[in-house]
């Protein structure tokens, strides 16, 4: 059976390169599609096209309401394809069909609509107060930056793409998007919709390619004014270093090791389901996952045995089956990385109370599978408690007082997400003390277009979505106009005497 082929999108043209990626389902290893593989030549072409489109100016001079209308048009087009795109996303990266429909595609559409609305009301030009003693008037304009590079991972591709390219385009920038080499298909479907909606050539370009050299060439390109990146903390740091040479603007959404605190007052049925959801959603491959569960030592045994009992009921398997809770790992490399962490955990004295290996039996002979795993028996200084595993793995830690729970929660290099289960008043008090960009009380993974997403500490720089999203893609420009008739009332009079 023939599989679809995808080309790169550069300057309004669909381009092949003579070399292809094979995109295979991580659940079955079957071939889903072939995709042209881009390299530094295509990055150079795409950046040149984006720069020329910016300089030519049609898009940045398009009234914001029209830019917003185009984004809304694309959102509507995606809305007509939710089931199809959700299935494609599941086949491409193995995220379960329930989550690709609601989160990957559904939330991305809502986010695009929200950003379109924001573009329509954003103050691109604001008159300020009169500038005395000189009789001058002031304006603040928010100008687009120019060429924005968006570099994204494979785990929740469409949402992280929309977080970047929707505010970038809404603000009048031009974009070069580099999707991850494991999951570029939905990104290229998105480009097709932008083309169909009439986005001018060169305004959005999509180049696939490996992190090295393609991603690095894009993020370091002298004509790129901003890099918006989601991915690992290690690559985020290299992009930040690289950006120094040309003082690029940078937004980073990086890793996490989310602490999830169950209080004595928590309803355990809800908190246990919530703890599993926090750790395992998206097959445990979510940067905002709750991967450290902090429980009161006084109730340790009951909570651990109920967690295990509940985890046993989860269906692991075919991600296209709506009954499945946990699907496969994206690739052989990530799979091995998780198994390496299991070996590390063992040397640290951790005990897997459930999982800790690879499932066997029908349905697991192909693809990359890891059992949902819960470790106990380590403290917060163990590597398994400090480093991001990026798989369906939860580490249980105990605390003796709420103060200790907060201390353990904040004792991490990361600061993306955190959560508290229990009495609301106490939970809010604790939330105020947690060093995290998102704190969820009695829930997890609550992401909403109107609220910012991003991290403290080494989890990132800047925020995506939320009410200030366009600020991250514009530069403030102060224009002052002196209206005085003669030479006297001017700033230069401080130094130069009027003749
Ligand atoms: P990764 O950093 O290896 O890759 C992400 C993207 O960067 C890919 O497109 C890749 O090709 C590209 N890339 C790789 N090396 C590069 C380089 N030197 N220069 C420029 N681009 C380069 O990450 P991954 O393994 O694909 O994803 C898993 C990691 O991403 C996890 O650590 C996870 O926490 C993090 N992540 C964070 C968020 C967030 O919103 N904070 C979301 C998803 C994933």
Structure confidence at residue 491 (pLDDT): 85
Tokens read off for 227: 């890099």
- Asked if residues 201 and 45 have their Cβ atoms less than 8 Å apart, the reply is no
Atom index in ligand 1 nearest the CA of residue 390 equals: 31
What gap in Å lies between CA 4 and CA 437, rounded to an integer? 40
Closest CA to 357 of 366, 50, 345: 345
Supply the residues annotated as catalytic: 253, 287
Token match 């499945």: residue? 324
Closest CA to 253 of 392, 370, 415: 415
CA angle 32–357–30, rounded 5-degree value: 10
Residue minimizing CA distance to atom 21 of ligand 1: 215
The sign of the CA dihedral 175, 176, 180, 183 is positive
**Residues of the chain falling short of pLDDT 70:** 1, 499
Residue minimizing CA distance to atom 35 of ligand 1: 231
- Asked if residues 329 and 94 have their Cβ atoms less than 8 Å apart, the reply is yes
Spatial strand order in the sheet of 136-144: 125-127, 136-144, 474-482
Tokens read off for 216: 């690095």
Tell me how far the alpha carbon of residue 152 lies from the centroid of ligand 1, in angstroms.
6
Structure confidence at residue 98 (pLDDT): 95
Residue minimizing CA distance to atom 40 of ligand 1: 253
pLDDT digits (tens, 9 = 90+) for 195-231: 999 999 999 999 999 999 999 999 999 999 999 999 9
Structure confidence at residue 1 (pLDDT): 66
Tell me how far the alpha carbon of residue 265 lies from the centroid of ligand 1, in angstroms.
38
Residue minimizing CA distance to atom 14 of ligand 1: 211
Tell me how far the alpha carbon of residue 156 lies from the centroid of ligand 1, in angstroms.
11
Tell me how far the alpha carbon of residue 246 lies from the centroid of ligand 1, in angstroms.
22
Radius of gyration over every alpha carbon of the chain, rounded to an integer in angstroms = 25
CA angle 58–64–66, rounded 5-degree value: 75
Tell me how far the alpha carbon of residue 161 lies from the centroid of ligand 1, in angstroms.
13
* 336: enclosing H helix or E strand: helix 332-347
What gap in Å lies between CA 395 and CA 18, rounded to an integer? 46
Closest CA to 417 of 396, 388, 391: 388
Structure confidence at residue 494 (pLDDT): 84
| Residue to mutate (ligand 1; options 211, 217, 255; most atoms within 8 A of CB) | 211
Atom index in ligand 1 nearest the CA of residue 179 equals: 9
Name the DSSP class of 297: G
- Asked if residues 175 and 150 have their Cβ atoms less than 8 Å apart, the reply is yes
- Asked if residues 354 and 371 have their Cβ atoms less than 8 Å apart, the reply is yes
Atom index in ligand 1 nearest the CA of residue 238 equals: 18
> What domains can be seen in the chain, in order of their start residue?
5-253+469-479 (3.40.605.10), 259-441 (3.40.309.10)
Atom index in ligand 1 nearest the CA of residue 182 equals: 26
Name the DSSP class of 499: -
Token match 């909570």: residue? 303
CA angle 343–393–378, rounded 5-degree value: 60
- Asked if residues 435 and 446 have their Cβ atoms less than 8 Å apart, the reply is no
Residue minimizing CA distance to atom 19 of ligand 1: 216
What gap in Å lies between CA 315 and CA 321, rounded to an integer? 10
Structure confidence at residue 144 (pLDDT): 98
Tokens read off for 352: 């897997």
- Asked if residues 166 and 75 have their Cβ atoms less than 8 Å apart, the reply is no
- Asked if residues 67 and 101 have their Cβ atoms less than 8 Å apart, the reply is no
Axis crossing angle, helix 82-93 with helix 157-170, rounded to the nearest 10: 120
The sign of the CA dihedral 468, 470, 473, 477 is negative
Atom index in ligand 1 nearest the CA of residue 209 equals: 11
What gap in Å lies between CA 39 and CA 228, rounded to an integer? 19
Atom index in ligand 1 nearest the CA of residue 455 equals: 41
| Residue to mutate (ligand 1; options 178, 235, 464; most atoms within 8 A of CB) | 235
Residues within 6 Å of ligand 1 by CB: 151-155, 160, 178, 180-181, 210-212, 215-216, 219, 230-232, 235, 238-239, 253-256, 287, 388, 390, 416, 460
Closest CA to 179 of 93, 266, 271: 93
| Residue to mutate (ligand 1; options 232, 413, 445; most atoms within 8 A of CB) | 232
Spatial strand order in the sheet of 31-36: 5-6, 31-36, 20-24
Residue minimizing CA distance to atom 42 of ligand 1: 287
Tell me how far the alpha carbon of residue 412 lies from the centroid of ligand 1, in angstroms.
20
Structure confidence at residue 496 (pLDDT): 87
- Is residue 339 exposed (0-12), middle (13-18) or buried (19+ Cβ within 10 Å)? middle
| Residue to mutate (ligand 1; options 156, 231, 238, 455; most atoms within 8 A of CB) | 231
Closest CA to 416 of 397, 442, 390, 398: 390
């Amino acid at each position: 059976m023939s599989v679809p082929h995808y080309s790169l999108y550069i300057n309004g043209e669909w381009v092949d390169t003579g070399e292809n990626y094979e995109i295979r389902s991580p659940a079955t290893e079957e071939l889903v599609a072939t995709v042209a593989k881009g390299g530094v030549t295509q990055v150079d072409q795409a950046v040149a096209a984006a720069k020329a489109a910016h300089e030519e100016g049609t898009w940045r001079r398009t009234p914001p309401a029209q830019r917003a209308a185009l984004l809304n048009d694309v959102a509507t087009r995606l809305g007509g394809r939710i089931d199809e795109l959700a299935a494609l996303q599941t086949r491409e990266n193995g995220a379960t069909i329930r989550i690709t429909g609601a989160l990957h595609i559904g939330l991305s559409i809502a986010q695009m609509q929200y950003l379109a609305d924001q573009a329509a009301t954003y103050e691109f030009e604001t008159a300020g107060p009169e500038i005395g003693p000189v009789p001058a008037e002031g304006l603040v304009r928010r100008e687009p930056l120019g060429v924005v590079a968006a570099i994204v991972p494979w785990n929740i591709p469409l949402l992280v793409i929309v977080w970047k390219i929707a505010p970038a385009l809404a603000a009048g920038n031009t974009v070069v998007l580099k999707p991850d080499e494991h999951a570029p298909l939905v990104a290229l479907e998105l480009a097709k919709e932008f083309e169909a909606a009439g986005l001018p050539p060169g305004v959005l370009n999509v180049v696939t390619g490996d992190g090295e050299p393609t991603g690095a060439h894009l993020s370091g390109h002298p004509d790129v004014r901003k890099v918006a990146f989601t991915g690992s903390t290690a690559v985020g740091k290299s992009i930040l270093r690289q950006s120094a040479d040309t003082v690029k603007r940078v937004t980073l959404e990086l890793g996490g090791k989310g602490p999830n605190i169950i209080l004595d007052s928590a309803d355990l049925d809800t908190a246990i389901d919530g703890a599993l959801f926090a750790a395992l959603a998206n097959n445990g491959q979510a940067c905002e996952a709750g991967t450290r569960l902090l429980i009161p030592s006084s109730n340790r045994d009951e909570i651990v045995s109920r967690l295990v009992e509940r985890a046993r009921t989860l269906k692991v398997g075919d991600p296209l089956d709506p009954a499945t809770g946990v699907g496969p790992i994206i690739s052989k490399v990530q799979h091995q990385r998780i198994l390496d962490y299991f070996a590390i955990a063992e040397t640290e004295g951790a005990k897997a109370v459930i999982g800790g290996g690879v499932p066997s039996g029908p349905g697991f002979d192909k693809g990359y599978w890891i059992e949902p795993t819960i470790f106990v028996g380590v403290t917060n200084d163990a590597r398994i408690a400090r480093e991001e595993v990026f798989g369906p793995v939860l580490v249980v830690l105990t605390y003796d007082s709420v103060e200790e729970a907060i201390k353990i929660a904040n004792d991490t290099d990361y600061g993306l997400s955190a959560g508290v289960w229990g009495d609301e008043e106490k939970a809010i008090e604790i939330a105020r003390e947690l060093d995290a960009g998102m704190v969820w009380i009695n829930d997890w993974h609550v992401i909403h277009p109107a609220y910012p997403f991003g991290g403290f500490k080494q989890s990132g720089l800047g925020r995506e979505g939320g009410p200030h999203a366009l600020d991250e893609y514009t530069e403030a420009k102060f224009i002052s106009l002196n209206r005085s008739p003669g030479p006297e009332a001017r700033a230069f009079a401080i130094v130069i005497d009027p003749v």
